[in-house]
Homo-oligomer: A and B are copies of this chain.
Amino acid sequence: MKIYDLESLPNPLRVRIALAEKGITDLIDFISIDVLNGEHRHPEFLVKNPSGAVPVLELDDGTYISECTAITEYLDHTFSGISLTGKSPQNRAMIHMMQRRAEQYLLDAAVGYFHHATDGLGPKLETVQIKAWGEQQRVRALEGMRYFDAVLSNNLYVAGDNFSMADITVFAGLAFADSVNLEISSELENLIIWRNRIAKRPSISGL
């Protein structure tokens, strides 16, 4: 299998953590996409993913799978080991619900802020910036941190008692937020404690 990505970006990080959790990183041939120079917008890449986003997983039969949730579903159902997408119907539902919240409330919000209200990838690539939208996404990301802090006051993990892809998404969201100076308020102790705990998992500390 191949993965087209750029290691430093948040969505590639999500899949790389998922691979490490499943213990299958060695099965992947990583191909670097030069996102900073717009390679993800070239027609050749858009065939792989019309959204123009990394990562993309290419299966051995040539099928392309994009979107982190879809890639994680594939990996989780193909390989044994820890379950990242849940086993019971209720567990699966909670994980998918929290996965969407982790995207909407935090990761996608921070990414929206970056592209619309900061220099983003620079003037050549950021051809449509809507500053008011970006600012709204900044507020949303900070509120998202507050939401997950509340969730983690009751739960050991984002979707309940077990680690899942939703934890990966919140972790990657916070890492990206850091990189664009959206920092966790020091009063969000549950979130900070959870983050320090998650950072020690071999799938993350070993990256």
Contacts and interface: CB of A to CB of B under 8 A. Distances in A.
A88 B67 CA distance: 17
Interface in A129-187: 130, 132-133, 136, 147
Q: How many copies does the complex hold?
A: 2
A57 to B, nearest CB: 8
7 contacts: A65-B93, A67-B100, A70-B95, A70-B96, A74-B93, A128-B136, A132-B132
A95 B74 CA distance: 11
A65 B97 contact: yes
A73 B96 contact: yes
Contacts of A73: 89, 92-93, 96
Most buried by B among A65, A70, A93, A130: A93
Given A65-B97, A100-B67, A133-B133, A74 B90 contact: yes
A65 B133 CA distance: 28
Interface in A76-115: 76-78, 88-90, 92-97, 100-101, 104
A66 to B, nearest CB: 6
Given A130-B130, A133-B133, A74 B92 contact: yes
A186 to B, nearest CB: 23
A133 B116 CA distance: 11
Given A101-B51, A130-B133, A94 B77 contact: no
Contacts of A90: 59, 63, 65, 74
